[in-house]
């Protein structure tokens, strides 16, 4: 968002051309520098999170009452709250210094948890990205995840006749199909009836949630008869579970590989395929796309179909992955807020496939660390939603970051860059 | 965030009018025929059962009993006829609109007659009316909030977040002070704070507004959930036991039969329903309204004649936040009292759907909100009647109705022209 600077006549005194290295360094510290803005956005969001942690601690707030007579009390407990919280966030997500002498599985435990948590976020981020590039917002992650999870669960516990790993393959495809059906429905309504996809997807979230929780999990076809009184489905057969990626002691499954493959495919799809080009064209300017012979409705439907299929894969990893807490069965909160987190991931990744992967790793780390933080310090995992939302808001408003940190714009830092 | 702005209806060429009339008529007729088959000729009504309508809140008084089959048959037939008239008869726009209203009323009544057939409890009309009105309150407030902001050109998807922050703040402050009035003001201001945040980022930093709204909803859900866990879950007695508003009985009106209970409610309830005529008058009959509409339709023109576009947008977003904050206040201290995590359960989004369905007009949005409110209450009304429909499907009803209506209306509604377009003074 650069402001229009009046084009003044450049003086003819020769400006010494800065060396390439110094220009890179100087560019890095301007408001147009994406990595710097992202980094500062994260710092700023963590700062706000720290303030929230402090003001939600009644003891610290009581000490704030007599701040001017004994400031050390307040400062100590505030520091204690925040430092322990964020230390545990780090220990739970990247690595814990205490495990330096431990077994490899202890040492790599946190980072593999992060990877496992990042996996569904990659799918979701890519799904939102595709819809977004097509000019639509897929806020129906929850519903599409549930749709995918329902079909994948059914195949995983029912179709045990399929030999070996083939059952897993069919289960994964069924999950994709679930998302595709719902996504295709949204796209069709959008293209043919002009129904706003934001409203439709949000409504479908609730429809699917009620369908799953209050109907499907009470039917004999799905409900696990050994778990009377719990709404939980029959568990997946062992053949249909996603295998471990780094050996049985580490908590990452093959879903991560699927997610990376999906990233490559989506990248190729946008850059090389005809349909990907059409979707991007429709997203940028539907009228121009139509004038150039692109069927807008078709591109919209396909965008939502692909988006839905990727959302369905969240359902697959949630049910068949190692993160499932219920012995690989389907439960009402199978979505775990991932459908909405996918939006923030896609935005932080600037709706680029590999950007989504980096954003997923960051948010996966937050999620993995948050559970440790909640267990050890009693800091609710909801703070992660706050921090994630703030990061996205700050990243989307580089101007704000520029104003807060008084970053120079590129024109000011690099002479001649404006011309 | 300049890529991919969605203008939902602008880019789609208007379909030929006859075709939409034909499709609409056929679908109406088909659904009407289904009603004839399911409601009138089905097992439930065919055994000569009666449907009881009670017109008094106390059970057993002033009841009217009608033969279920004949009534359902008549109503479905009228609905079917509406569809046929739509297809074949050359009728004007106004007639079509009334036909749609008649159609919906007949289908709903046929459904109710079928659902209550043979039940000794029957349908209690005043109770259904009251429950529908109660369920409509947050929807009306949310829809009016979104109306004010969208008419000024800013998409307010964040109604849900404003509900949550209003509800949380109202419950917290009312519990801590013991006063509902403090809760009311604090809750409304919390909603306004959320909407002002949206206004700031939409106007100054020009973030895509739908995305921004969704992110702000995540933020509000996270903030309220976080403080709920840290304060209310640990010490509910101190932080989450608010007083609630007392009912304010309007003498005279409250003793009218059937609609009497609607005049024995609290102040937030009255405020919600009064907001509709007030806003209608404000939007269409005052200088403020004209200016608001102009910055939502053509900000550049408004700016040219000297209206401060951004200033008015900030101001209107603040008012919008007060309204949806009031909706949040209703959720806690206006109705049930305690705050619960994510307690608005998508009603902020339904309110926006009501606005879209109501074509961005106060009266239309109100009518749509009542319809959604009825759909929300359907489950409670029907649960004692042991219908063959599983409860889950009745719970889905409001959301499915929303999808259906949005799909049917589709391209016919038109949002304010400058919606979702940041204004930059040139």
Same domain, B271 and B370: yes
Same domain, B286 and B362: yes
Same domain, A127 and A82: no
Same domain, A92 and A190: no
- List chain B residues with CB under 8 Å of A1: 205-206
B93 CB burial (10 A radius; 0-12, 13-18, 19+): exposed
- Average pLDDT of the segment spanning A2-21: 55
Which residue of B lies nearest to A58 if distances are taken between CA atoms? B231
Same domain, A56 and A134: no
Same domain, A166 and A298: yes
pLDDT at A31: 59
Contact between A389 and B222 using a beta-carbon 8 Å cutoff = yes
- Average pLDDT of the segment spanning A210-226: 89
Q: Give yes or no for residue A418 having a pLDDT over 60.
A: no
Q: How far apart are CA A22 and CA A19, in angstroms?
A: 5
pLDDT at B17: 52
**Count of C-beta atoms within a 10 Å radius of residue A99:** 16
Same domain, B263 and B352: yes
pLDDT at B14: 44
pLDDT at A5: 46
CB neighbour burial string for B41-50, b if at least 16 within 10 angstroms, e if fewer: ebebbeeebb
Q: B95, B121, B147 — which closes off a domain?
A: B121
Highest mean pLDDT among A283-292, A371-380, B202-211: A283-292
Q: What are phi and psi of B55, to 5 degrees?
A: -115, 15
For chain B, what is the domain count? 2
DSSP characters for A121-138? HHHHHHHHHHHHHTT---
Same domain, A79 and A131: no
B6 inside domain:
no
Same domain, B271 and B329: yes
Q: How far is B424 from chain A (nearest CA, A)?
A: 11
B199 inside domain:
yes
Instruction: Work out the mean pLDDT of chain A and round it to a whole number.
Output: 86
A295 inside domain:
yes
Contact between B230 and A392 using a beta-carbon 8 Å cutoff = no
- Average pLDDT of the segment spanning A308-330: 91
pLDDT at A412: 57
The two three-digit tokens of residue B111, written as one number: 């459904």
Looking at the partner chain, which of B225, B390, B396 has a beta carbon nearest the beta carbon of A382? B225
Q: How far is A79 from chain B (nearest CA, A)?
A: 17
Q: How far apart are CA B92 and CA B97, in angstroms?
A: 9
B423 inside domain:
no
Q: B100, B121, B142 — which closes off a domain?
A: B121
Q: How far is A192 from chain B (nearest CA, A)?
A: 9
A361-A367-A371 Cα angle (round to 5):
150
Contact between A203 and B402 using a beta-carbon 8 Å cutoff = yes
- Average pLDDT of the segment spanning A283-308: 93
Per-window interface: A 12-71 vs B, CB < 8 A: 52, 56-58
Which residue of A lies nearest to B403 if distances are taken between CA atoms? A200
Contact between A52 and B216 using a beta-carbon 8 Å cutoff = no
Q: How far apart are CA B218 and CA B196, in angstroms?
A: 16
For chain A, what is the domain count? 2
Q: How far apart are CA B189 and CA B182, in angstroms?
A: 11
- A61 vs A348 pLDDT, higher one: A348
> Percentage of chain A with pLDDT > 90?
42
- B116 vs A182 pLDDT, higher one: A182
Q: Give yes or no for residue A38 having a pLDDT over 50.
A: yes
DSSP characters for B139-204? HHHHHHHHHHHHHTT---TTHHHHHHHHHHHHHHHHHHH--HHHHHHHHHHHHHHHHHHHHHHHHT
Same domain, A387 and A252: no
> Percentage of chain A with pLDDT > 70?
91
3-state secondary structure of B64: strand
Q: Give yes or no for residue A320 having a pLDDT over 70.
A: yes
B237 inside domain:
yes
Same domain, A88 and A129: no
Q: Give yes or no for residue A7 having a pLDDT over 60.
A: no
Same domain, A140 and A278: yes
CB neighbour burial string for B103-127, b if at least 16 within 10 angstroms, e if fewer: bbebbbbbbbbbbbbbbeebbbbbb
pLDDT profile of chain B (426 residues), mean per 10? 42 51 80 82 73 73 78 86 82 80 86 79 82 93 95 92 95 93 95 95 88 91 91 87 88 80 88 95 94 92 91 95 95 89 88 89 92 85 77 84 80 80 78
Residue B168 belongs to domain with CATH number: 1.10.3470
Q: Which of A397, A135, A18 is nearest to B11 (CA)?
A: A135
pLDDT at B182: 95
Per-window interface: A 274-303 vs B, CB < 8 A: 283-284, 286-287, 290, 296
pLDDT at B19: 67
Same domain, B54 and B185: no
A6 touches chain B (CB under 8 A): no
Contact between A213 and B392 using a beta-carbon 8 Å cutoff = yes
**Residue B202 structural domain:** 129-412
pLDDT at B174: 94
- B86 vs A8 pLDDT, higher one: B86
A106 inside domain:
no
Lowest mean pLDDT among A27-41, A322-336, B121-135: A27-41
Q: What are phi and psi of B124, to 5 degrees?
A: -95, 105
pLDDT at B11: 41
- B116 vs A241 pLDDT, higher one: A241
Longest dimension (CA), chain A: 85
Lowest mean pLDDT among A147-156, A189-198, A267-276, B309-318: A189-198
- List chain A residues with CB under 8 Å of B211: 137, 343, 347, 396
Which residue of A lies nearest to B212 if distances are taken between CA atoms? A393
- Average pLDDT of the segment spanning A10-37: 67
Could you give the ipTM of this predicted complex? 0.85
For residue B124, what are the β-bridge partners?
A: B54
Same domain, B365 and B386: yes
Per-window interface: A 188-227 vs B, CB < 8 A: 189, 193-200, 202-207, 210-211, 213-215
pLDDT at A13: 57
Q: How far apart are CA A172 and CA A188, in angstroms?
A: 24
3-state secondary structure of A233: strand
B418 inside domain:
no
**Count of C-beta atoms within a 10 Å radius of residue B178:** 12
**Residue A307 structural domain:** 117-348
pLDDT at B5: 43
Between chain A and chain B, the number of residue pairs with CB atoms below 8 A apart is 172
Same domain, B133 and B107: no
Strand B50-54 relative to strand B63-67: parallel, antiparallel, unpaired? antiparallel
pLDDT at A262: 95
Contact between B206 and A200 using a beta-carbon 8 Å cutoff = no
Q: How far is B370 from chain A (nearest CA, A)?
A: 17
Confidence of residue A29 (pLDDT cuts 50, 70, 90): low
3-state secondary structure of A259: helix
Which residue of A lies nearest to B227 if distances are taken between CA atoms? A56
A229 touches chain B (CB under 8 A): no
A61 inside domain:
yes
A2 inside domain:
no
CB neighbour burial string for A318-343, b if at least 16 within 10 angstroms, e if fewer: bbbbbbbebebbbbbebbbbbbbbbb
> Can you tell me which residue has the tokens 């429909």?
B389
């Amino acid at each position: 968002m650069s402001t229009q600077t009046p084009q003044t006549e450049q003086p003819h005194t020769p400006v010494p051309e800065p060396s390439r290295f110094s220009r890179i360094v100087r560019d890095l510290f301007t408001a147009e520098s994406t990595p710097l803005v992202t980094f500062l956005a994260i710092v700023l969001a963590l700062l706000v999170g720290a303030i929230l942690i402090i003001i939600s601690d009644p003891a610290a707030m009581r000490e704030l009452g007599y701040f001017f007579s004994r400031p050390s009390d307040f400062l100590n407990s505030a520091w204690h709250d925040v430092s322990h919280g964020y230390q545990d966030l780090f220990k739970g997500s990247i690595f814990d210094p205490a495990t330096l002498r431990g077994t490899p599985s202890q040492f790599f435990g946190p980072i593999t948890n992060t990877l496992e948590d990042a996996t569904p976020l990659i799918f979701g981020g890519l799904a939102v990205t595709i819809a977004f590039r097509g000019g639509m917002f897929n806020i129906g992650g929850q519903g599409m995840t549930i749709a995918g999870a329902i079909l994948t669960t059914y195949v995983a516990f029912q179709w045990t006749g399929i030999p070996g790993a083939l059952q897993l393959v069919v289960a994964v495809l069924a999950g994709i199909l679930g998302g595709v059906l719902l996504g295709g429905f949204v796209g069709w309504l959008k293209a043919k009836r002009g129904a706003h996809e934001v409203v439709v997807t949000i409504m479908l979230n609730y429809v699917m949630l009620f369908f799953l929780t209050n109907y499907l999990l009470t039917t004999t076809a799905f409900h696990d008869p050994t778990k009377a009184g719990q709404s939980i489905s029959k568990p997946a057969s062992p053949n249909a579970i996603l295998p471990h990626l780094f050996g049985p002691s580490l908590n990452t499954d093959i879903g991560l590989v699927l997610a990376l493959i999906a990233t490559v495919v989506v990248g190729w799809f946008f850059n090389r395929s005809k349909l990907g080009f059409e979707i991007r064209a429709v997203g940028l300017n539907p009228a121009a796309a139509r004038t150039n012979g692109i069927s807008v409705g078709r591109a919209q439907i396909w965008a939502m179909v692909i988006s839905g299929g990727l959302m369905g894969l969240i359902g697959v990893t949630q049910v068949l992955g190692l993160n499932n807490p219920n012995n690989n069965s389907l439960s009402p909160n199978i979505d775990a807020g991932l459908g909405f987190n996918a939006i923030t991931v896609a935005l932080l990744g600037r709706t680029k496939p590999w950007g989504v992967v980096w954003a997923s790793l960051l948010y996966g780390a937050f999620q993995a660390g948050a559970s440790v933080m909640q267990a050890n310090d009693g800091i609710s995992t909801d703070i992660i939603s706050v921090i994630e939302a703030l990061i996205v808001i700050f990243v989307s408003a580089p101007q704000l970051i520029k104003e807060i940190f008084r970053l120079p714009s590129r024109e000011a830092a690099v002479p001649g860059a404006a011309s | 965030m300049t890529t991919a702005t969605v203008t939902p209806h602008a880019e789609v060429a208007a379909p030929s009018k006859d075709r939409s009339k034909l499709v609409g008529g056929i679908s109406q007729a088909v659904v009407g025929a289904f009603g004839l088959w399911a409601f009138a000729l089905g097992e439930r009504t065919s055994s000569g059962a009666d449907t009881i309508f009670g017109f008094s809140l106390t059970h057993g008084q002033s009841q009217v009993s009608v033969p279920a089959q004949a009534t359902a048959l008549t109503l479905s037939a009228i609905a079917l006829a509406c569809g046929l008239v739509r297809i074949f008869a050359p009728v004007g726009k106004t007639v079509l609109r009334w036909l749609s209203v008649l159609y919906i009323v007949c289908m709903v009544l046929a459904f109710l007659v079928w659902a209550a057939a043979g039940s000794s409890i029957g349908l209690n009309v005043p109770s259904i009316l009251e429950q529908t009105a109660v369920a409509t309150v947050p929807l009306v407030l949310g829809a009016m909030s979104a109306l004010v902001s969208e008419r000024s050109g800013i998409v307010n998807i964040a109604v849900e977040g404003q509900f949550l922050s209003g509800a949380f703040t109202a419950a917290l402050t009312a519990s801590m002070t013991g006063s509902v009035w403090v809760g009311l003001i604090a809750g409304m201001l919390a909603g306004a704070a959320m909407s002002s945040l949206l206004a700031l980022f939409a106007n100054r930093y020009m973030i895509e507004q739908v995305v921004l709204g969704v992110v702000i909803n995540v933020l509000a859900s996270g903030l309220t959930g976080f403080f709920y866990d840290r304060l209310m879950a640990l010490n509910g007695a101190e932080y989450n036991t608010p007083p609630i508003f007392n009912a304010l009985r309007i003498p005279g009106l409250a003793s009218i039969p059937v609609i009497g209970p609607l005049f024995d409610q609290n102040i937030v309830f009255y405020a919600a329903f009064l907001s509709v005529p007030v806003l209608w008058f404000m939007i269409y009959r005052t200088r403020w309204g004209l200016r608001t509409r102009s910055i939502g339709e053509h900000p550049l023109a408004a700016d040219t004649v000297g209206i401060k576009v951004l200033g008015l947008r900030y101001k209107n977003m603040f008012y919008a936040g007060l309204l949806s904050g009031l909706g949040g206040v209703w959720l806690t201290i206006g109705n049930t009292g305690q705050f619960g995590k994510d307690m608005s359960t998508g009603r902020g989004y339904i309110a926006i759907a009501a606005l879209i369905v109501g074509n961005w007009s106060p009266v239309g949005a109100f009518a749509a909100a009542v319809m959604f409110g009825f759909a929300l209450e359907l489950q409670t009304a029907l649960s004692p009647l042991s219908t063959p429909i599983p409860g889950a499907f009745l719970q889905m009803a409001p959301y499915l109705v929303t999808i259906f209506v949005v799909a049917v209306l589709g391209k016919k509604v038109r949002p304010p022209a400058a919606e979702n377009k940041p204004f930059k003074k040139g």
